[in-house]
Structure 1
Amino acid sequence: MTQGAPDPGALLAQAGAEHRAGRRGTARALIEQALVAAPRFGEAWRALATVHAEDGRHDAAAAALGTALACGVSRPHEAHLQRAVWFADDLRRDDEAQAELEAALALKPDYLPALMNLGNLHEQRGQREAALACYARALDDPRFATVPEAALRHVALARTAVMRPPATPDDPLLAALRTAIESTAPDALERVHLQFALGHGLDRLGEVDAAFDAFARGNRSLLRREGRRYDPRREAALVDAVIAAFPKPDPARPAHDDATRPVPVFICGMFRSGSTLLEQVLSGHPDVVAGGEIDWLPRLAFERLAPFPARAIGLGEADVQRLAAEYRAHVEALFPASRDARVLTDKRPDNHLLVGLIKRLFPHAKILHTVRHPMDNGLSVYMQHMNLEVTPYANDLGDIGHYYGQYRRLMAHWEACFPGDLLAVPYEALVRDAETTVRGVLDFLGLEWDARCLAFHERRNTVKTASYWQVRRPLYGDAAGRWRRYRKHLGPLETALRQAGVDLPNEA
């Protein structure tokens, strides 16, 4: 470094302070100055990668972290793990994600987070035995018992129990789960995983009361850990604001022409209502590319257009066309095959909040609304270890019922606004009469019947939702009507649904 030249380390330290203060633009500028002064400054490349990721530019983030690795960044195993997460979760480049995880383990064979992520990636790709091998290694290799992240071994036990559930009430796996639960702190995240795994194992054995107790304990652990996040008044106010911001469109108002290939098809509804199953079925059609849970629209609404929906009201036609083009460019980068497809599915259940915005950006878009019996749907949410940042209502039966009522209120508004472009797809019909239901969906989308849709469970594509093992099985109706077995435990859910005016069919 020549005399008078800026000190790259000092610039990076200053960038860190700006970043912590929430000034990402200033932080990025300082990092770039540091890199001009020291182009092989690995820690600056790592910092730049972080800023890119926070801006949603995960391709640039992965590239920057790759440069950091080439420059000899500290803790390279952690850098490989971070690149793997971006490749898998944000860029849909699973082969590269696996290579990064294997590189992390080659550098540090006892790096348990990389091994657990590798197991999870194998699960998402439908590679059961490979996933189980990762979890067995985590449990059996004595090196993992002493690493700082050793608590993750409990998660490995929980995932093993979900993938190979106990076969009998005296299965040693049940005892192992209970022992592990007692050995963990009441609000530890691994305890939550274990409690839900125990619940699912007991449910499979028909031990309803014990299973519900395990799910309730898991949700209480989450509540202790995360705190109550759901605000019924805020949710109702948001739905009121969305309805006011997106009234029934004026048919005389011209809409921009977005009728280009592929036609975006948005699958939304309530979480645990069959949206993953429906998308997996449709992905068997040769003219459909399944996009899974694409986060572009939620990021647009709740970051760039915050506060939503107030700022969305003022979008002009030029803004609309620009944003629609950005979305198409984003999905084409993620899914190059979509350029030649007739349909691209974007499956985000919580996009039910954004149907008005979707139809503003894409007037020709089709909406598939997955619907499930309210009691079954609510129970399924309660039985699943959900991410409370996405579903803050999920650990309380009363909150689930309230949220369900608000969601159905908003969907009724969209049905009135876009009757020809929105199709309800009942979960019960899909699992009981798949061919008739799928034919109806394909007809709605303008696609011909293809029997490969019903062979969805044979595909080994990546599924990045909590349903990734359910959709590896042929269609089954086991979960339809399950709420009746649990009804005596579901009073708060039933009361909240009734207060919201939700119809409860076939209650007896």
Structure 2
Amino acid sequence: MSSPSTNATPAPAPLIREANALREAGRLTEAEAAYVRILERWPALPDCWFNLGVVQRRSGRYQAALASYQEALARGVAGPEEVYLNRAVIYSDCLRQDEAAERELREALKLNPSYLPALLNLANLHEDRGQREEARTLYGQALTHDPMCFLALARLSNLLPGGAYDPGLIARLREAIARPEASAADRAQLGFALGRALDANGDYGGAFSAYQAANRDSRASALPAVVRYDRAAQEQVTEQLIAAATPRPLAPPGADATGPRPIFVCGMFRSGSTLTEQLIAGHPAVAAGGELDLLPRMIASELLPFPDSLATASQGKLMQLAAHYRDRIAALFPGAAYVTDKRPDNFFCIGLIKTLFPDALIVHTTRDPLDTCLSVYFLHLDHRMSYGLDLMDTGHFYRQYRRLMAHWKRLFGAGIVDFDYDALVRAPEATASALFGSLGLDWDPRFLEFPRSGRAIKTASVWQAREPLYRHSSGRARHYARQLAPLREYLADLLPAAGADR
């Protein structure tokens, strides 16, 4: 987020320009030091406090960032609603304190009731909590303030419960996509919502066409550096991980160790990981961590080049990293005996996980390959997961994922528990109770009664995970047999045998 308007107070302009340049270059440690030096001498500079908060947040120093943003507010920063928004994002996304996030967003809206970013973020927060009507009201308010807020229209459409969609809403989505004001990013948001509506109405040919167009628009809206999936590069990543030496695991924590034990839930996106996490978190000893960024941040800051660095990392270094991870989840989820880390692409990190946490429980979620790839293609993913923009690229990524998981299973065997989404929807209690047995957790059939609201779910599956178990997503690919024919042929050796129970 950019800085609010330039502060008019006389200031050491060359020093500020230097600090801003360091921030923009991503040299965060140096930028923070530069801002601190400036503010030690000239503390009445709200823009510098704001930018210090930006740097601290990007560095993962969230409490420090909150304090810096508060200083910016206390010193009269221009556009204070933006500062409240930034504080809300830290509370919600980084500290998992949703009540505090709501408080900050409502402060922003007190100052500026038509501030769209706060309206949209507050609506999204209600979505995370399963509060459908509250979210719909806020998206409606956003559209009242700005009828061309295409994101609000797309989100409002996605909030409708499953079943047939009103033809009037479908027409409204089509009209919005055709408007000249709609950017490629807007058309992508609207197009994915249109595809979902047409799919719900049983217009599968129309839905697939809408999703194709949405993925094209999503690609058009992305930066060139992240727009194209590189199959050869992905194969090289797989080869490197398979070839990498696995260090000697650290000793498991002693019986007197404190803090939660991690449960890693990983697999392909759209393979049932959110549902699996919510099921496990039904146990009173388990806190749902969601998609934590702790391992990717650890790799980026401490373990590059990865995975080669693992071969030379000292036991002391590895112990330090493991302790930091455990300290972070203990701080985020105080009192929990177990914490789930449900970042699907942590399947790349299983070697690291088993090195740092030899006692870690790893649940690998699986689902029918065609259903999985189709659901990925039908989801508006982050552009960094550019394989999702093309169905055959998704199939290629899926094949590389299966290669890597086969390698991890050879190394760690029973240390990785496979959990089949399709088996769960067919036989919920038998499948779920077996999972709990593998994790060493007591089973109670009431764990299958997923909460309709309250527990925050910060993934694309937020509403599916709140519904009773349903089978219409299992075998979904049958509605798209013609469109999936090339993918079916490409993945033929990975598909379940014809007639197999699904």
Identify the TM-score tier after normalising by the shorter chain.
over 0.9
Q: Which amino acid aligns with 1:387?
A: D
Matched, 1:367 2:370: no
> How much does 1:106 deviate?
1.0
Correspondence 1:101 to 2:105:
yes
Q: Alpha carbons of 1:223 and 1:507: their partners in 2 closer, same or farther (altered >3 Å)?
A: farther
* Residue in 2 that maps onto 1:506: 498
Taking the aligned partners of 2:460 and 2:184, their CA distance within structure 1 comes to: 20
Please list the CA deviations of residues 412-470 of structure 1 after superposition, one character each: whole Å capped at 9, or x if unmatched.
11111111211100010111211111111111111111233111134520000000011
Select which of 148, 170, 188 maps to 2:184. Answer: 188
Provide the secondary structure at the position in 2 that maps to 1:212: helix
Q: CA deviation at 1:171?
A: 2.2
Q: Is 1:245 aligned with 2:244? A: yes
1:286 corresponding residue in structure 2: 284
**Secondary structure, in 3 states, of the residue corresponding to 1:31?**
helix
Say if 1:236 and 1:188 are closer, same or farther in 2 by CA, change over 3 A.
Answer: same
Aligned to 1:214: 210
CA contact (8 A) 1:368 1:424 kept: yes
Check the 8 A contact 2:165/2:200 in 1, yes or no: no
Tell me how far 1:246 sits from its aligned partner. 4.0
Return the offset for 1:287: 1.4
C-alpha separation in 2, matches of 1:76 and 1:179: 35
Q: Is residue 473 of structure 2 the alignment partner of residue 473 of structure 1?
A: no
CA distance in 2, matches of 1:225, 1:65: 31
Question: Following the alignment from structure 1 to structure 2, what is the Cα–Cα distance between the partners of residues 459 and 18?
Answer: 43
> CA 1:186–1:40 in 2, change beyond 3 Å: closer, same or farther?
closer
What is the letter of the counterpart of residue 253 of structure 2? D
Q: Which residue, 41, 47, 51 being the options, matches 1:47?
A: 51
Match of 2:64 among 55, 60, 65: 60
Residue 165 of structure 1 and its aligned partner are, at CA, apart by: 5.7
Deviates more, 1:460-469 or 1:36-45: 36-45
Residue 9 of structure 1 deviates from its aligned partner by 4.1
RMSD value over aligned CA atoms? 2.0
- Answer whether contact 1:195 1:218 (CA < 8 A) is retained: yes
Instruction: Find the counterpart in structure 1 of residue 6 from structure 2.
Output: none
Q: Answer whether contact 1:31 1:44 (CA < 8 A) is retained.
A: yes
> Which runs of 5 or more residues in structure 2 are unaligned?
1-9
Q: Which moved more, 1:407-416 or 1:447-456?
A: 447-456
Contact residue 176 and residue 182 of structure 2 kept, 8 A: no
Task: Check whether the contact 1:7–1:34 (CA below 8 A) recurs between aligned residues.
Answer: no
Q: Which residue of 2 aligns with 1:445?
A: 439
Query: Would the aligned equivalents of 2:260 and 2:329 in 1 still touch at CA under 8 Å?
Result: no
- 1:399 matched residue in structure 2: 393
Aligned ranges 1:277-316 → 2 under 5 Å: 277-316=275-314
Would you say the 8 A contact 1:196–1:214 is kept in 2?
A: yes
What is the Cα deviation at residue 507 of structure 1?
Answer: 7.6
Residue 268 of structure 2 corresponds to 270
SS of the equivalent of 2:358 reads: coil
Return the letter of the residue paired with 1:229.
R
Q: How far did residue 8 of structure 1 move?
A: 4.1
The residue aligned with 2:15 is 11
Q: Matches of 1:206 and 1:44 in 2, distance apart?
A: 54
Task: Kindly state the Cα deviation for residue 41 of structure 1 after the two structures are TM-superposed.
Answer: 2.1
Query: Counterparts of 1:157 and 1:165 in 2: how far apart (Å)?
Result: 15
Amino acid aligned to 1:446? G
| Alignment partner of 1:176 is 2:178 | no
Closer, same or farther: CA 336–40 of 1 in aligned 2, 3 Å: farther
Q: Which position in structure 1 is the counterpart of 2:230?
A: 231
Q: Of 369, 372, 375, which residue of structure 2 is paired with 1:377?
A: 372
Q: Partner amino acid for 1:400?
A: T
Corresponding residue SS for 1:345: strand
Matched AA of 1:72: G
SS of match in other structure, 1:56: coil
SS in 2 for 1:306: coil
Residue in structure 1 matched with residue 5 of structure 2 by the alignment: none
CA distance change for structure 1 residues 406 and 168 in 2, over 3 Å: closer, same or farther?
closer
Secondary structure in 2 aligned to 1:456? coil
Write the distance in 1 (CA, Å) between the matches of 2:62 and 2:106: 20
Task: Note if 1:112 corresponds to 2:116.
Answer: yes
SS in 2 for 1:133: helix
Q: Which amino acid aligns with 1:506?
A: A
- Give distance in 1, aligned partners of 2:163 and 2:266: 35
> Matches of 1:79 and 1:169 in 2, distance apart?
38
Q: TM-score, normalised by structure 1?
A: 0.91
Most deviating of 197-206 and 294-303: 294-303
Structure-2 change in CA distance of 1:14 and 1:238 (3 Å)? same
Q: Corresponding residue for 2:146?
A: 144
Task: Give 1:274 shift.
Answer: 0.2
Counterpart of 2:351 in structure 1 is 356
Paired with 1:130 and 1:486, the residues of 2 have a C-alpha distance of: 35
Is the contact made by 1:398 and 1:495 (CA closer than 8 Å) also made in structure 2? no
Q: Deviation of residue 184 (structure 1)?
A: 4.4
Match of 1:162 among 158, 162, 180: 158
- Structure 2 equivalent of residue 415 of structure 1: 409
> For the residues of structure 2 that align with 1:232 and 1:89, how far apart are their CA atoms?
32
Structure 1: distance between partners of 2:146 and 2:115: 8
State the Cα distance separating 1:103 from its structure 2 match: 1.1
Q: Which moved further from structure 2: 219-228 or 480-489?
A: 219-228
Q: Distance in 1 between matches of 2:201 and 2:179?
A: 24
1:210-232 Cα deviation digits (max 9, x unpaired): 01111111011112222533111
Unaligned runs of 5+ in 1: 1-5, 146-150
Contact 2:267 2:344 in 1 (8 A): yes
Could you say if the C-alpha distance between residues 144 and 246 of structure 1 is closer, same or farther in structure 2, counting changes exceeding 3 Å?
same
Corresponding residue SS for 2:451 = helix
Partner Cα separation in structure 2 for residue 56 and residue 117 of structure 1: 21
Aligned mate of 2:253, from 249, 258, 261: 258
Change (3 A) 1:185 1:165: farther
Whether the aligned pair in 1 keeps the contact of 2:249 and 2:356 (CA below 8 Å) is no
1:504, 1:230 → 2: CA distance?
27
- For the Cα contact (< 8 Å) 1:122–1:130, is it kept in 2? yes
- Name the % identity: 45
Between 200-209 and 18-27, report the one with greater CA deviation. Answer: 18-27
d(CA) in 1 for partners of 2:188, 2:415 = 40
1:491 and 1:42 mapped to 2: Cα distance?
59
Q: How far 1:300 sits from its partner (Å)?
A: 1.2
Change (3 A) 1:406 1:187: farther
- Does residue 489 (structure 1) correspond to residue 483 (structure 2)? The answer is yes
1:77 corresponds to which residue? Answer: 81
Aligned equivalents of 2:453, 2:78: Cα separation in 1: 40
Amino acid in the other structure paired with 2:241: V
TM-score by length of 2: 0.92
